[in-house]
Amino acid sequence: MSTPTARKRRALPTSEVVTAVVKSSPVPISSAEATQSLAILTELCPFFLKPLDIGGADWLEMPGAVAATETADVRGANASPSSPGRKKDSSELLVTRSPKWVKREAGGLREVREIIRRELELQD
């Protein structure tokens, strides 16, 4: 018997993702163009979006990012002892911690934009 994972997989059928891309595009695009764009995105940024084959059907998954609790643990290891007052729960720590403790998320949209920008510059 397998142990259930702590996180849900964020996967959707490719056809649903294509439909969402077509509907949300500020300019009219076809399903074929949306499919091609998603294929390019999965090729350039597999850390952000990756193709899956589930039961013979094409699906797309957004792999999970580094858990915020890991970042909070790093902060806890370097922080000074807390005061004997009311203890903050983990959600309060995430909101109130200093920016120097916030770990830059690897594989986020910023990195995707940079990769796409570099690819476009290479083609010009």
Q: What's 61-101 look like in SS3?
A: ECCCCCCHHHHHHHHHHHCCCCCCCCCCCHHHHHHHCCHHH
pLDDT in tens, 30-74: 999 999 999 999 999 999 999 999 999 999 998 875 433 333 344
- Read off the pLDDT band of 75 (50, 70, 90): very low
pTM higher than 0.85? no
Average pLDDT over residues 84-111: 62
**CATH 1.10.10.1420 describes domain 11-65:** yes
- Read off the pLDDT band of 6 (50, 70, 90): low
CA angle 76, 91, 2 (to 5 degrees): 85
The answer to whether 94 and 35 are in contact (CB under 8 A) is no
